[in-house]
Amino acid sequence: MRAFAMVTSLFLGFQVQAADLTLHPVKIAPNIYAVIGDLGGQSYENDGLNNNLGFIVSDAGVLVINTGPSTRVARALHTAIKKITPQPVKWVVNVNSQNHNWLGNGYFKSIGALILAHKQADRAMRDVGETQIAANKTLLKEKAAGTALAYPDEWVDDKREIKLGNTVVQLLHFGHAHTPGDMVVWLPQHKIIYTGDIVYTERMPGVLPVSHSGGWVQAFDRMSPLGPKTIIPGHGHAADLARARKETRDYLVYLREEVKKSLDRGDTLQDAVETIDQSGFKHLANFDQLAGRNANQVYLEMEKDAF
């Protein structure tokens, strides 16, 4: 009986170990990494991690881009970082106020990192944080254990520059896009940019009630003259500017043009959602879930802007 208990205990121990979360960073360039999230929606199975995380390594410390939707994900990210460098994480940037970008803040704050976000993102976090964390506890169950709200330490307005040793990092805000507080992380010496949700690749952009599709197009157009060679989007794998334009900007421009035609004809919201043909973008993941919803949001936005 004692032997059976020992075997059972060992088996359960292996089960717990097997359930530990391991993240696999992708090396974008020397000292520059991304963790590519799942292309689908947030789920228990993917730990709520359906967006991209990142980090930049330097002799002055590590800068993390997004902390994930939970302490569990944040801890797994730090574990992955420690396999690459012994340098401490000193800075964290939340690119916007969506839960999968910042609910892991508490873990990094506990190890002494300075957390930065745009001032409008911080405002939104404080408005919806309690709702977000409650929703995550429902979705992630025990995987949300230990996750608590931890807000940014400092706000960014339109621009802030950080020097990581010899590496220059610029935090830039191009206006209200996917959310009011969207921010990009630009590495001018490397021509690499973490765009957050200003860019989606491989999956359909999601237009939210807090989004502004017109401002989103403008933000993309303000970002483009930087001339990035590599874009790490908010969702999807790294890409060049041409692909980013095709799968994000072109989609938003097309949808806005079609919605304008519907408004000019006097179509109802339901008519517009049902008749606008978005099939040219059907190859993008989550098309069936998001196409109608996006048309609905853009119609309401453009109808409001017309008055």
Q: Which residues contact 264 (CB under 8 A, 6 or more apart)?
A: none
The model's pLDDT over 162-179, given as tens digits with 9 standing for 90+, comes to 999 999 999 999 999 999
Instruction: Give the whole-angstrom CA distance, residue 40 versus residue 285.
Output: 7
Instruction: Give the whole-angstrom CA distance, residue 219 versus residue 213.
Output: 10
What are the structural domains of the chain? 17-240 (3.60.15.10)
Q: Which residues contact 114 (CB under 8 A, 6 or more apart)?
A: 90, 91, 92, 153, 154
Q: What is the CA angle 209-211-215, rounded to 5?
A: 150
The pLDDT value given to residue 217? 98
The pLDDT value given to residue 160? 97
State the residue for tokens 């032997």: 3
Instruction: Give the whole-angstrom CA distance, residue 47 versus residue 59.
Output: 31
The pLDDT value given to residue 18? 31
Instruction: Give the whole-angstrom CA distance, residue 236 versus residue 232.
Output: 8
Mean pLDDT of successive 10-residue stretches along the chain, which has 307 residues? 41 46 98 98 97 97 98 98 98 98 98 98 98 97 97 96 96 98 98 98 98 98 98 98 98 98 97 97 98 98 92
The pLDDT value given to residue 17? 35
The pLDDT value given to residue 224? 98
The pLDDT value given to residue 258? 98
The pLDDT value given to residue 306? 87
